[in-house]
């Protein structure tokens, strides 16, 4: 046993070191493959010997499926905000105020102002024990499990001069490339896009499933350390110490002595920041000495020893030529502004998003208007205002823009539901763009994986060979070889690919149906809770919302989908063609109803099986696994080290606590 513990400890140590080399220093010394193999070895050992689990093991980076809850925690030191300015004059005023206030020599530290979401990390004896969001500055949400998955946040600090209690503050960001990737996936699934990386980062930190957080590749930048016995009295030197402890401090920080040096920093980064992998929206100017910071003090909101200089969002001005409308596969209609081409942040902009009718009305847009476009943190530029002066003697000014009343594709009058900002084309059955969009979704790789491109779909649709995705299964070899530029091989390949899709498992078929808000993960959750489509069709709103992560919005959309006869007929046609509408035999064979109607929370670590295995057993036996204790909880399956918060809550609510052996007897 001692040997195993030693082995686990040594792999952990090696992995912590490689993490630091890779994510903080950006200098990996082993290959990804070697890293992954070591990680796998560690996870295998930890699964086999759960008694050696550790919340700060490098394996926590992959996240876990235990549903998070985010208790509110008080900040020991309040998380203040910064006074903002857009004017260089006010930066000079700040410098002079500090000079007068201190009446002695002082130095300034200039840093980039990262545009993400702030976090407070608490390290005790070098170990990460808690991570809390800013909240209202006095109290925030405990998001520790999610933060543990962020690769460049050390779980254990390096070095022997780390103070016993240390509070580290910084910004959590989603790099541009992850942001673009995630939005691309969301667009494919017609899920609402994140407006900017900041929203994406803060939304991700609050996700219930830390495995999803782990997959989103968040990063941290550390800008402050607080605590007892800090190494020095200089903020700048302390940040350099933090870097040695393994924290990710930006190498852009500079010590300055005069306003001129501060302006050099501002001007340099105002250009250079565009080459950074993350968003910055200004620079932060701080007094370096901690004693001087204390002497200057704070107002109730802001420190007097720091100020933020914000960069102006880059703007361009252009003429609005027209507004066009696009229909998606769910019928949602989005307005797009077409502009006279103009250069903004180095790229030519021809189009800007207009969001919805309310946004158009708020701008009081007229065709021919000169409009201001900004990119800011967004990828798609937006119109922020109209130049009203230019409108006065503008002979090119046209009509006021009014939202389209008819579908741009099929001409059906659009509808706008109460309490919703979006317009829809209600002609789900007859609108060609919607139909083709649904077929394109149906065939995607992660759904039915049929190798057919959008042009072929349009061709087959125009020829009247397919009216919806179910008609793909009626296609014959002869139908295809007769088509222009279609040879025997491509016809055979398509027919084979369609035939092969009949064995795609139920959860992917469910995703392929294109029910609004039912992405891949939701489809998987639905499939295990309702192992056949018939059970799903019969499910009530209440039954649907009792499934983890399924809220009212998704549940209602599922009910609406099956309430439409045309979709029910579509499902029936797919069934007749032999698609999978039930969980596979193997999975079903092991199913029982021994825990039917019981809601069970899992807590602690276990001897006989892993938490994942217990979770699967609950579902297999008809029970529900939920992440936190509530009035609805029937049992807590408690292992060792059950969290004290859960224990207290359980005792208050009078929930029964059972051990592993009790549980295994229940499902025997
Ligand atoms: S110092 C009391 N430094 O900006 C001083 N903040 O507007 C606390 N931020 O909540 C903040 N980069 O989330 C500081 N280099 C930096 C920063 C930074 C980004 C964020 C931080 C803070 C907000 C204040």
List, for residues 511-524, the tens digit of each pLDDT value: 999 998 898 878 98
Instruction: Please check whether residue 119 is in contact with residue 131, taking contact to mean a CB–CB distance below 8 angstroms.
Output: yes
Fold for domain 590-668?
Answer: Rossmann fold (3.40.50)
Q: List ligand 1's pocket residues with C-beta within 6 A.
A: 80-82, 111, 113-114, 118, 134, 171, 223-224, 284, 303, 306, 308
Distance 373 CA to ligand 1 centre (A): 27
- pLDDT band for 568, please (50, 70, 90 cuts): very high
Q: What DSSP character marks residue 200?
A: H
- Give the domain ranges of the chain: 2-62, 73-310, 315-392, 432-503, 590-668
- pLDDT band for 134, please (50, 70, 90 cuts): very high
- Domain formed by 2-62, architecture: Orthogonal Bundle (1.10)
Residue having the nearest C-alpha atom to atom 3 of ligand 1: 223
Catalytic residue, candidates 113, 375, 624, 649: 113
Query: Cα-flanking dihedrals φ and ψ of residue 399, to 5°?
Result: -75, 155
pLDDT averaged over every residue in the chain: 89
Sheet containing 624-626, strands listed edge to edge, beginning at the edge strand earlier in sequence: 624-626, 599-603, 635-638, 656-658
Taking CA atoms, 642 is separated from 61, 247, 449, 636, 659, in Å, by: 21, 30, 43, 10, 11
Q: Of 350, 346, 349, 326, give the one whose Cα is nearest residue 338.
A: 350
Looking at ligand 1, which atom is closest to the CA of residue 303? Answer: 2
What is the CATH code of the structural domain delimited by 73-310?
Answer: 3.30.470.30
Residue having the nearest C-alpha atom to atom 23 of ligand 1: 81
Instruction: Please check whether residue 29 is in contact with residue 38, taking contact to mean a CB–CB distance below 8 angstroms.
Output: no
Q: Tens digit of pLDDT for each residue in 69-94? A: 788 889 998 898 899 898 899 999 99
**Whether 257 is catalytic:** no
Residue 113 and residue 306: Cα distance in Å, rounded? 12
Q: Is the pLDDT of residue 576 over 90?
A: yes
Residue 319 and residue 342: Cα distance in Å, rounded? 9
Q: Is the pLDDT of residue 553 over 70?
A: yes
Rounded to two decimals, the pTM is: 0.62
Distance 276 CA to ligand 1 centre (A): 18
- Domain formed by 432-503, architecture: Orthogonal Bundle (1.10)
Q: Tens digit of pLDDT for each residue in 431-474? A: 999 999 999 999 998 899 999 999 999 999 999 999 999 999 99
- At 379 the pLDDT is 65
2-62 and 73-310 share one fold: no
Find the range with the poorest average confidence among 264-278, 362-376, 578-592.
578-592
Q: Is the pLDDT of residue 618 over 60?
A: yes
Residue 395's SS3 state is: coil
CATH 2.60.40.3470 fits 315-392, yes or no: no
- Mention every residue, 6+ apart, whose C-beta is less than 8 A from residue 151: 19, 22, 23, 61, 217, 219
Looking at ligand 1, which atom is closest to the CA of residue 84? Answer: 7
What's the CA dihedral at 398, 400, 401, 404 to 10 degrees? -110
Looking at ligand 1, which atom is closest to the CA of residue 81? Answer: 24
């Amino acid at each position: 046993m001692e040997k195993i513990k030693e082995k686990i400890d040594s792999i952990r140590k090696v992995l912590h070191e490689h993490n630091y080399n890779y994510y903080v220093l950006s200098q990996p010394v082993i290959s990804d493959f070697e890293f992954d193999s070591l990680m796998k070895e560690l996870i295998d050992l930890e699964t086999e010997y759960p008694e050696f689990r550790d919340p700060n093991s490098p394996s926590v980076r992959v996240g876990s499926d235990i549903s998070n809850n985010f208790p509110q925690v008080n900040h020991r030191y309040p998380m203040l905000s910064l006074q903002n300015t857009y004017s260089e004059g006010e930066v000079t005023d700040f410098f002079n105020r500090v000079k007068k206030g201190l009446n002695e020599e002082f130095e300034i530290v200039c840093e980039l102002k990262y545009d993400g979401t702030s976090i407070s990390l608490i390290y005790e004896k070098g170990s990460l024990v808690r991570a809390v969001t800013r909240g209202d500055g006095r109290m925030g949400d405990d998001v520790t499990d999610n933060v543990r998955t962020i690769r460049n946040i050390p779980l254990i600090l390096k070095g022997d001069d780390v103070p016993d209690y240390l509070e580290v503050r910084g910004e959590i960001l989603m790099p541009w490339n992850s942001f673009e990737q995630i939005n691309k996936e969301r667009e494919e699934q017609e899920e609402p896009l994140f407006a900017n990386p900041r929203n994406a980062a803060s939304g991700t930190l609050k996700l219930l499933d830390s495995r999803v957080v782990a997959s989103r590749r968040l990063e941290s930048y550390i800008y402050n350390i607080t605590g007892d016995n800090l190494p020095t009295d200089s903020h700048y030197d302390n940040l350099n110490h933090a870097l040695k402890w393994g924290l990710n401090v930006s190498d852009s920080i500079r010590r300055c002595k005069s306003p001129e040096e501060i302006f050099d920093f501002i001007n340099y980064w105002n250009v250079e920041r565009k080459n950074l992998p993350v968003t910055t929206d200004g620079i932060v100017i701080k007094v370096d000495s901690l004693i001087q910071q204390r002497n200057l003090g704070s107002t109730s909101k802001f420190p007097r020893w720091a100020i933020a200089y914000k960069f102006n969002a880059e703007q361009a001005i252009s003429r609005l030529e027209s507004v066009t409308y696009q229909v998606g596969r769910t019928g949602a209609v989005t307005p797009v502004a077409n502009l006279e081409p103009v250069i903004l942040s180095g790229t030519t902009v021809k189009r800007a998003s207009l969001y919805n009718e309310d946004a158009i009305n708020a701008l009081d847009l007229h065709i021919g208007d000169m409009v201001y476009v900004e990119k800011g943190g967004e990828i798609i530029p937006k119109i922020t205002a109209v130049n009203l002066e230019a409108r006065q003697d503008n002979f090119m000014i046209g009509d006021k823009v009014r939202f389209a009343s008819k579908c741009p594709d099929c001409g059906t009058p659009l509808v706008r539901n109460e309490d919703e900002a979006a317009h829809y084309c209600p002609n789900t059955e007859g609108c060609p763009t919607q139909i083709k969009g649904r077929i394109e979704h149906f065939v995607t790789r992660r759904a039915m994986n049929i190798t057919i491109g959008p042009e072929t779909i349009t061709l087959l649709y125009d020829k009247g060979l397919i009216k919806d995705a179910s008609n793909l299964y009626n296609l014959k070899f002869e139908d295809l070889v007769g088509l222009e530029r279609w040879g025997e091989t491509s016809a055979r390949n398509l027919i084979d690919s369609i035939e092969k899709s009949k064995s795609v498992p139920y959860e992917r078929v469910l995703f392929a149906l294109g029910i609004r808000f039912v992405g891949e993960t939701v489809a998987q959750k639905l499939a295990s809770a309702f192992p056949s489509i018939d059970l799903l069709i019969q499910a009530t709103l209440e039954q649907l919302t009792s499934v983890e992560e399924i809220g009212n919005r998704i549940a209602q959309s599922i009910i609406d989908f099956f309430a439409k006869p045309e979709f029910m007929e579509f499902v029936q046609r797919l069934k007749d063609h032999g698609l999978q509408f039930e969980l596979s035999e193997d999975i079903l064979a092991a199913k029982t109803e021994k825990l039917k109607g019981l809601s069970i929370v899992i807590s602690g670590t276990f001897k006989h099986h892993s938490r994942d295995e217990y979770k699967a057993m609950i579902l297999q036996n008809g029970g529900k696994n939920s992440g936190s204790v509530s009035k609805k909880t029937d049992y807590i399956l408690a292992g060792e080290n059950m969290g004290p918060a859960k224990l207290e809550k359980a005792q208050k609510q009078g929930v029964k606590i059972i051990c592993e052996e009790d549980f295994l007897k229940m499902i025997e």
